[in-house]
Amino acid sequence: MEKITQFPSPGRPRGSSQGYFRALINDKPFTTTHLQGHLCLRSELAGERTCKIWKVHATGKVAWRRTVFGFFIDQSLEPGTYDLVRNERLTAVYHLTPRQQAQVYHSRDFQHGSVTLHECDAHTGRLRGAFEFSMSAIDFTVSQGEFDLRCRPAEPFEPLAD
């Protein structure tokens, strides 16, 4: 099997005024069809929302399979490389729908993973970085991941009136 080292032209996915998101999944390219980035407050199970996060949602395909990436990054993180498996201020979710049963992988389940933030400017909304993660026990690898996008402020959260 030939290893892919060139990405297809990222074009401009729907939902994104600027930016790209790309990766190889087991050496097959992820083709982004929809990309969204937001600056928002993290959902909390209880209490008031106080933690500001970058939320990146990329939908696309790997071959013919619908695939979704979600990244949730604490806005207090500065440029640098972070362990995706053990850092509670970073979360990644990989969702694959091969047939009728979806497969969902969460960063707490990864055996290896990292995110490198090259730029994370809340004033301009620019978020740029790279990522990789794997679960060797099931022969699953995401490599050469890159993103560069402008995140918009999310709509303010309005609690329901009693």
* Tens digits of residue pLDDT in 42-79: 665 445 545 789 999 999 999 888 999 999 999 999 99
Question: Cβ(37)–Cβ(53) under 8 Å?
Answer: no
Residue 8: inside a domain, yes or no? no
Average pLDDT over residues 94-108: 83
Q: Is the model more confident about 111 or about 7?
A: 111
Domain containing residue 35: 21-153
Residue 124: inside a domain, yes or no? yes
Q: Enumerate the β-bridge partners of residue 126.
A: 121, 150
Of the pLDDT bands very low, low, confident and very high (cuts 50, 70, 90), residue 16 is very low
Average pLDDT over residues 105-128: 94
Residue with tokens 């979704």: 68
Residue 12: inside a domain, yes or no? no
Whether the model clears a pTM of 0.85, i.e. scores above it, the answer is no
pLDDT of residue 45: 44
Residue 91: inside a domain, yes or no? yes
* Structural domains of the chain, count: 1
Question: Cβ(133)–Cβ(143) under 8 Å?
Answer: no
Residue 162: inside a domain, yes or no? no
Residue 35: inside a domain, yes or no? yes
Residue 63: inside a domain, yes or no? yes
Residue 11: inside a domain, yes or no? no
